[in-house]
Chains A and B, each alone.
Chain A
């Protein structure tokens, strides 16, 4: 059973990683803790659902969902974060506007879904599990792993091989210097928010498929887990987010499998707390902002 549970954990972790990558991108580059990220994830799930219900094949629905949430994310930045950029209170103020945006999006979803939980129609992804090396692997689990890998690879290529990506990395390490060197910040904001939103949207569709449940409140638990991944991986570190996401998925699955249920949350958050005490920069962090540095 251990191998099976490890595999289950890996799949869950892949989704956590996707979610956290988007969250971490915005935080690492712009120091914005976007509490509406969970709602964007949820909207992605709905967008994918309506795409499929509208007759689109799954792969296209996922792309459409990613496009929607990418644009949504950019819009959120334009309306709720950009006006605050010149303010000295930006750090806290964006927290609150992101809470406000979260409320708006959740309410919209509640109205549209009439508070009901919805699900993808049957057969969108074949259900019969395959038996590989004694493990039961459903096609859906393969889809999730594949999508996560693809997104991760694309993101890495974008950040490290394209000039856009170089600009993003420049802004992330020192925005002022980047601007002096001719980087256009607006373009960078657009790209980071778009990618962040798109990743969240894809994660939303995958989770909606995997666990057969799409509801207006599905974002919050993932947002909370997103924080855990953020810290454990290291703020601003994308490889960290990926590894920590996978680790969290495995940790969570194993605690459910082997410990009395009810201890899962306790264990996960205690690990987070301990991490913050022992190695607050996380597994890969340290490049961006030292956790111990006094606030300036």
Chain B
């Protein structure tokens, strides 16, 4: 070969090589719409943190068919208008392949139709299924309330076996409305009597009146469906109001959170809760997640952070399955078919069923200040 020919051949080979390596190394943009300010700031902030830890985790493991993930988190101020604007911005301007958002049921229901219109996969941890129903492109990273809360309802009726209970829930949050209904229906069907229903607003802090009212009824058990801090407050005010020590306190996922335990102190002893995320993690992955989260944010993760991390794991698995430089359609199809994915929530394994993540929940109880698996499961 002449020298110029050799040179040309080498150049051609170099370009070919470059093309093959770059062909697989796509940076998949994930746009996260998060409530970092506004009324849902607490949940949104932690979810976003879980996402960040998840993105770093995925990029470090390098197990996504050569792709990397670029996570962009923006604040929607717990405002529908801003959430919609962000969705359009991510999908149309930033070329996001996946949209994550939001932790608020109201907001996710509002932006889901647009994601469907734009044909971009969207995944949310919101409790309501309104965003997902009847759509093809919207996914839910947390299990449905009926499926989750069967566990605690059955445990109450079959193991704790109270005679009469009082139900309390936050009326301005659909998740709490729904889960308290499911619990109530199940235990009533199994013979437990519900003495009284008390509703509060989750922004309330003064429960003295309600606590006094409930304590005077002396129920065998009390079911609480409110967010962690109000729940802790409520429990403390109940004890102050003279709730008998024999009354069993049962709650959903919020009462298993570290926030609740920290806030309620000794009053949390003996409470039952449902674990989406068990502090300390249920498996190796959970322990590693906690360590990574703690290293980055200097505090332990809560259930929202864990859900955010799990969301990222789902996205990562979908990208991996979709192959190098995946299209939105490919990611969507892969996500819909995920089975038996290792995660940090529930008992550690989830599968996508009708675009909703399904996993088994654990009932926990507090013994000597620590969360342990409740006996009799």
Contact = CB atoms under 8 A, between A and B. Distances in A.
Direct A–B touching, Cβ under 8 Å: yes
Interface of A: 1, 4-5, 8-9, 11-12, 107, 110, 114-117, 119, 122, 127, 129, 136, 138, 207, 210-213, 215-218, 221, 252-254, 256-257, 260-262
A261 B265 contact: no
Interface string B273-287: 000000000000000
Contact of B45 (A115, A127, A260): A115
A14 to B, nearest CB: 12
Contact of B205 (A213, A253, A257): A213
B210 A207 contact: no
Nearest to B265: A122
Given A1-B216, A11-B208, A107-B37, A213 B230 contact: yes
Contacts of B230: 213
A271 to B, nearest CB: 17
B203 A221 contact: yes
Contact of B232 (A212, A216, A221): A212
Contacts of A218: 205
A136 B242 contact: yes
B199 interface: yes
A9 B209 contact: yes
A12 B208 contact: yes
Interface stretch (B50-58, B233-241, B337-345): B233-241
A212 B263 contact: yes
B36 interface: yes
Interface in B30-46: 36-37, 39, 41-42, 44-45
A260 B207 CA distance: 14
Given A8-B209, A115-B42, A136-B242, A213 B229 contact: yes
A257 B37 contact: no
A46 B107 CA distance: 30
Question: Ordered nearest first, which 5 A-B pairs have the shortest CB separation?
Answer: A211-B205, A115-B41, A256-B209, A261-B199, A8-B208
A129 B240 contact: yes
Interface residues of B, number: 33
A138 B240 contact: yes
Contacts of A254: 209
B80 interface: no
A211 B209 contact: no
Nearest to A221: B203
Contacts of A221: 203
Nearest to A8: B208
B41 A257 contact: no
Given A122-B265, A136-B240, A261 B37 contact: no
B39 A261 contact: no
B42 A119 contact: no
Question: Taking each of B37, B229, B233, B242, which has the highest tally of chain A beta carbons within 10 Å of its own beta carbon?
Answer: B229
A107 B77 CA distance: 11
Given A129-B240, A217-B39, A119 B229 contact: yes
B94 to A, nearest CB: 25
A212 B207 CA distance: 11
A261 B210 contact: yes
A256 B233 contact: no
Nearest to B239: A127
A129 B243 CA distance: 12
18 contacts: A1-B213, A1-B216, A4-B212, A110-B41, A115-B37, A116-B259, A117-B229, A119-B229, A136-B242, A211-B206, A211-B207, A211-B237, A212-B232, A212-B233, A213-B233, A217-B39, A217-B203, A262-B199
Interface string B194-208: 000011100101111
A127 B240 contact: yes
Question: Taking each of A11, A117, A262, which has the highest tally of chain B beta carbons within 10 Å of its own beta carbon?
Answer: A117
Contacts of B45: 114-116
B13 to A, nearest CB: 53
Nearest to A222: B205
B152 to A, nearest CB: 23
Nearest to A128: B240
Contacts of B36: 115
B229 A253 contact: no
B308 to A, nearest CB: 14
A212 B42 contact: no
A8 B171 contact: no
B368 to A, nearest CB: 17
A216 B40 CA distance: 12
Nearest to B44: A115
B263 to A, nearest CB: 6
A245 B44 CA distance: 35
